[in-house]
Amino acid sequence: MDDDLQIDSDEDLFRNPVYYEPAGCNLDLDRPDLGVPQGQDLLNVLLRMRGRVPVERRGLICPDCRDLRGRRVPMYLVQRDGVWLASHYRKPGEKHISHESDEHLARKERIAKDSEDHGFRADIESSTADGQARLDVRINGANGIVLGYEPQLSAQTARGMRAREGFRRRGGIQSVWDFADPDHAGIGTVPYVRTPNLPASVIRVQKNPIPVRDGNFVLEEGQCSQSGALTRCPERPYDPENPTDAGYCGGWHRVLVPSHQSSAFAGEAGESGLTLTQFIVEAAAGERVPFQRGGHHGWLPAQQWQQYLEANGPGPDKERAPSARQGDRRDRCTEDRPASDVRADPKKRRGSRTIVLETRAQETEAAEVATDASGRPIPLCRFNCGMPASMTGLEGLPEHWSCRRKDEDARGVAGKAA
């Protein structure tokens, strides 16, 4: 009876919430009682239904399909490495369940059209070769580059974003995650860009530019001073209460900085009016490349990537790829799910995302030693004024007459006070 199932991929599987109709609430598959009163034996009851009760009559449904689409989509339980997960019921050959918003669809259609217009083949809703990830837009770039454009308009956890990126990276995909929320947990967690939150009607008009406001980094280096090349000291803590405060340490830094926070920033739209279409086309052509430094992801122009390698070497940061079995299935089951009581609020990201590659302390020049006519060094004044003194006093020590007078006057005042 369970043979006519289309099993969800691991990427889809671990993200699904599940609603139990008889109890009238979502189940917590992490708990022995599934989060319902007297539910200790409920899991065994559900498992005994296998092969006996049709999936549609087991009482498990997708809460998102019900809330967003008004559809009752049955679900069933699947075990992965000892963890119970919920999967949508689909017959073989049926497409995956999708609740994409109109804005989400518009972004996919726009990027696919723009890529095709610039000579790069693009396919909407394409899977990776291993079947572990589904790409919103697959773009076949130059020299074997494969881009996966992923607009992400809903809140997610950083853990979930890392897991989803891991599926794509292992499939040989260079992902471009597009966020509209400046505080999204995925910013910096995965290779990303940030664009404004625009309505679908505006996005679908190809002549309307979509500015890139974050995610594109530039390499800067220079003296950390008011007259230097850096806007502010990258190692000085950012004060959100005083965002215009600038501090300088006097040293020298080489940094990766978001282009909108760089000294060359030229306006609200970003570096030289960089648009999402231009970014995608250049990334597909290999003119922009993703980087990872200290767990933070972003994109660099290819020329600056070479400078990055010169500064940091060819070895990328090592990052353990999280297992899909350990993913946070509470993220959401599809795109653009609204706020939910089973998903944690995303962590707020504030302030600068400057990445320091190298720092050198301010180099002080050695003071020149004063010499007399014969080339011998002139000693410093005994009264610690810091200046060389060629005259010797009554004690045979180098001194200035003015410094002796000041010392005698100071002693006299002290004696009268005593």
Q: Which of 143, 8, 10, 128 is nearest to 62 (CA)?
A: 8
- Residue 160 has a pLDDT of 81
- Residue 375 has a pLDDT of 78
Which carries the bigger pLDDT value, residue 399 or residue 264?
A: 399
**Tokens found for residue 74:** 């049955």
pLDDT-derived band at 268, boundaries 50, 70, 90: very low
Please compute the mean of the pLDDT values over residues 293-297 and round it to a whole number: 85
Please compute the mean of the pLDDT values over residues 389-415 and round it to a whole number: 81
Most confident option among 183-187, 250-254, 269-273: 183-187
Most confident option among 65-74, 321-330, 398-407: 398-407
Please compute the mean of the pLDDT values over residues 293-299 and round it to a whole number: 87
Please compute the mean of the pLDDT values over residues 290-309 and round it to a whole number: 86
pLDDT-derived band at 145, boundaries 50, 70, 90: very high
- Residue 109 has a pLDDT of 93
- Residue 99 has a pLDDT of 56
Which carries the bigger pLDDT value, residue 56 or residue 97?
A: 56
What is the C-alpha to C-alpha distance for residues 253 and 262, in angstroms, rounded to an integer? 13
HSE-up of 274 (CA within 13 Å, CB side)?
26
User: What pTM was computed for the model?
Assistant: 0.61
To the nearest whole number, what is the mean pLDDT of the chain?
79
pLDDT-derived band at 141, boundaries 50, 70, 90: very high
Listed range (9-23, 205-219, 234-248) with the worst mean pLDDT: 234-248
List strands edge to edge, sheet with 217-223: 217-223, 252-258, 355-360
- Residue 319 has a pLDDT of 46
Q: Read off φ and ψ for residue 334, nearest 5 degrees.
A: -145, -175
- Residue 277 has a pLDDT of 95
- Residue 92 has a pLDDT of 65
pLDDT-derived band at 307, boundaries 50, 70, 90: confident
SS (H, E, C) the chain: CCCCCCCCCHHHHCCCCCEECCCCEECCCCCCCCCCCCCCCHHHHHHHCCCCCCHHHCCEECHHHHHHHCCCCEEEEEEECCEEEEEECCCCCCCCCCCCCHHHHHHHHHHHHHHHHCCCEEEEEEECCCCCCEEEEEEECHHHCEEEEEEECCCCCHHHHHHHHHHHHHCCCEEEEEECCCCCCCECCECEEECCCCCHHHHCCCCCCCECCECEEEEEEEECCCCCCCCCCCCCCCCCCCCCCCCCCCCEEEEEEEHHHCCCCCCCCCHHHCEHHHHHHHHHCCCEEEEEECCEEEEEEHHHHHHHHHHHCCCCCCCCCCCHHHCCCCCCCCCCCCCCCCCCCCCCCCCCCCEEEEEECCCCCCCCCCECCCCCECCECCCCCCCECCCECCCCCECCHHHHHHHHHHHHHHHHHC
- Residue 212 has a pLDDT of 92
Q: Say whether pLDDT at 205 is over 80.
A: yes
Q: Classify 375 in phi/psi space as left (phi over 0), alpha (psi -120 to 50) or beta.
A: left
- Residue 332 has a pLDDT of 46
pLDDT-derived band at 202, boundaries 50, 70, 90: very high
- Residue 190 has a pLDDT of 94
Please compute the mean of the pLDDT values over residues 332-349 and round it to a whole number: 47
Please compute the mean of the pLDDT values over residues 116-135 and round it to a whole number: 85
Q: Say whether pLDDT at 139 is over 90.
A: yes
- Determine whether 223 is exposed, middle or buried from the number of CB atoms within 10 Å of its CB (0-12, 13-18, 19+): middle
